[in-house]
Amino acid sequence: MSIDSAAALDSARLIACLGADASAFALDLRPTCASTNAELLALAPSAPAGVIPVLACDRQHAGRGRRGRAWLAWPGASLTFSALWRFPAGAPVPAGLSLVAGVAVARTLEQLGVAGVELKWPNDIQVHGRKLGGILVELSGGREVAAVVGIGINLSLPPGAEVPGRTDVSALDQLIDTPPAPERLLAELLRTQRALFDTYTSAGFPAFAGAWNQRNAHADLPVRVSGEQIELSGVCLGVDADGALLLRTDTGVQRVLAGDVSLRGAS
């Protein structure tokens, strides 16, 4: 377990929060880096076996989200980290993996006292319709499948903080009276992911489809799904056993594997 003592997160506190689970993780805590996901992807081929590499960073110079978007976070006001998870050959990766990561975040937040957590397909964390965080999963091939799961959660919203194209943004300090320290939040997120990913390895996404659908932000609502090669409108029915979005349209139920879901402009 390696620790960068100059990191914004307190290393001793994080280890204490992890307790007996600390030895399972190789922790790298930094004040700055380019992209936590990109750095762990580059590390994947040579990362030592037996531990889960974790990179947490207060300020990312080139953080990224889905489909090439920038990953927006505010120094001192966001928890942004990535972890490198290995899955044995034959595991059901990547079907539904980002959705399982969403369930892990939702369960962690609920256990910490956050009510109204919603999951917006495929990777947003919302509370009562307002975005609290996001997830980015990227894969590295090899004998074993390695998946870098990046997570960003708003701890607070600094004055003047804006997300282009969105006004519906929230932060943890707006949702509970006493937000957890970021070290405790990170420890609980890692612990929950580890437990759920173990189940995912053996049982696949079907073991989590019900939990995801219970938190579906757009359940039974008219939505529009847009992407590079898709434009659909219909009623959101939830997700299938492999994580595909199910949409009831005028021509029947459609399965959607990629795209952005929005209530805006839906008929």
CB count, 10 Å around CB of 69?
Answer: 12
pLDDT digits (tens, 9 = 90+) for 215-226: 999 999 999 998
**Could you give the CA distance from residue 237 to residue 248 in angstroms, rounded to a whole number?**
7
Task: State the Rg of the chain over Cα.
Answer: 18
Helices 11-18 and 182-203 meet at what angle, rounded to 10? 40
Q: 151: which strand partners?
A: 81, 135
Residue 66 designated active-site: yes
The pLDDT assigned to 73 comes to: 64
pLDDT value at 147 more than 70: yes
Chosen CATH of 222-262 out of 2.30.30.100, 2.60.120.10, 3.90.1150.10, 3.40.50.720: 2.30.30.100
Residue 130 designated active-site: no
Q: What is the residue extent of each domain of the chain? A: 11-214, 222-262
Residue 264 designated active-site: yes
Catalytic residue among 66, 130, 194, 248: 66
Strand bridging mode 145-154 / 222-226 = unpaired
Chain-centre distance of CA 160, in angstroms? 25
CATH code that applies to domain 11-214? 3.30.930.10
* Residue 54 · residue 33 · CB < 8 Å: no
Q: Which distant-in-sequence residues (6+ apart) come within 8 Å of 232 by Cβ? A: 224, 225, 247, 249, 254, 256, 259
The pLDDT assigned to 2 comes to: 41
pLDDT digits (tens, 9 = 90+) for 44-87: 888 888 899 999 998 887 555 544 555 566 667 899 999 999 99
Q: Which of 12-16, 70-74, 225-229, 236-240 has the lowest mean pLDDT?
A: 70-74
CB count, 10 Å around CB of 107?
Answer: 19
* Residue 69 · residue 139 · CB < 8 Å: no
Catalytic residue among 86, 107, 120, 131: 131
Q: What is the mean pLDDT of residues 173-185?
A: 95
